[in-house]
Homo-oligomer: A and B are copies of this chain.
Amino acid sequence: MITINAIAEQAGVSRTTVSRVLNRSGYVSEEARKRVLAVIEETGYVPNEYAKSLRTKKTKVVGVVLPKISTETASRLVDGIDKILADEGYQILLTNTNLEPEKEIEYLKLLKSRNVDGVILSATNINDELLKEIENLNIPFVAVGQEIPDVSTVVFDDFYAAKEMAELLINRGHQKIAFIGVDPADRSVGHSRKDGYLAALKEHDLPIVDDWQQTGIFDVESGYKAMKTILEKATERPTAVLAVTDRLAVGAMQYLKESGYRIPENIAVAGMGASEMSKYVSPSLTTMDFNYERAGEEAARQILNKINRPGEEKEKKIVLNYRIIKRNSI
């Protein structure tokens, strides 16, 4: 590996001078600069960022911890983060918990040991141990997707999004609305969205039936099963179903179609998340668009603010808009 010393020697200057032309800091004579630049060009020298950050205490790296990489939400989020960060010369160090909660803590520590300038966490379940770790982290931090007290967060208004979706169904004349959710340990998707659904029903004095409410995980298969369970268990058949993710909704549609129900004539289906798929299933799925790229961008901006103005920035909560997409499934 070629170092700053080699460049200095070849250019006939001290490494201090090389450093100065590299960083465009301090005075360097035009002559010296040219010689240095020529040698750099010739040798293809690139400064060792590790040595640099050992001195400067800056790494120009932001750690991102994701619950799962291969998911549309995650990749759109990372896209947004990268868009903002790349412009400022920052790189992303990616870690993937694969939905194992212990790993969130492990990776937070690891990112710290790698001296990242900041951490963006796409949170799912929040537990006390994690909160403690975040508190002790002591580097710029922002969470996406879940609210965390005293911490900067970028969130979606899950409650109102779900409520509005339920209300859309109600406006279309539905009185018997089923629900496919996920584990309420996930406060945003599991808990708040269900609350939104329930709130809408209550406000409109509609029946809230336990058998119409099922829980799945984040895949198509479990949406299929949940829909099956609802139809098998319910004494009275619902006329619409609201699923908290598009995958769940698509699974529900699969079951309904296989069982000979017509969508939306017999049962209307609504999802949430605006996955690419939602547009191309038949019938096309009514869903809720959360702007994940935007969430990534906002999170990245916040991190940048915190990095550049340490202490100045106070923790703030950004709530992002959602947008309903009406299609043929309702």
- Cβ–Cβ contact B91 & A92, under 8 A: no
A249 to chain B, nearest CB (A): 10
- Which residues in B have their C-beta under 8 angstroms from that of A48? 54, 113, 115
A94 contacts which of B57, B82, B109, B113 (Cβ < 8 Å)? B82
Count of chain A residues near B, Cβ 8 A: 48
Q: 1/0 per residue A277-302: CB within 8 Å of B?
A: 10111100000000001000000000
- Cβ–Cβ contact A61 & B280, under 8 A: no
- Cβ–Cβ contact B93 & A91, under 8 A: yes
Which stretch from A65-73, A140-148, A178-186, A310-318 is at the chain B interface?
A65-73
- Which residues in B have their C-beta under 8 angstroms from that of A91? 93-95, 110, 114
- Cβ–Cβ contact B46 & A50, under 8 A: no
Given contacts A51-B54, A220-B276, 6 further A-B contacts (CB under 8 A): A61-B114, A70-B78, A75-B75, A78-B94, A82-B94, A92-B95
Binding site for B on A (CB under 8 A): 1, 44, 46-51, 53-54, 57, 59, 61, 69-72, 74-76, 78-79, 82, 86, 91-96, 109-110, 112-115, 136, 220, 250, 253-254, 276-277, 279-282, 293
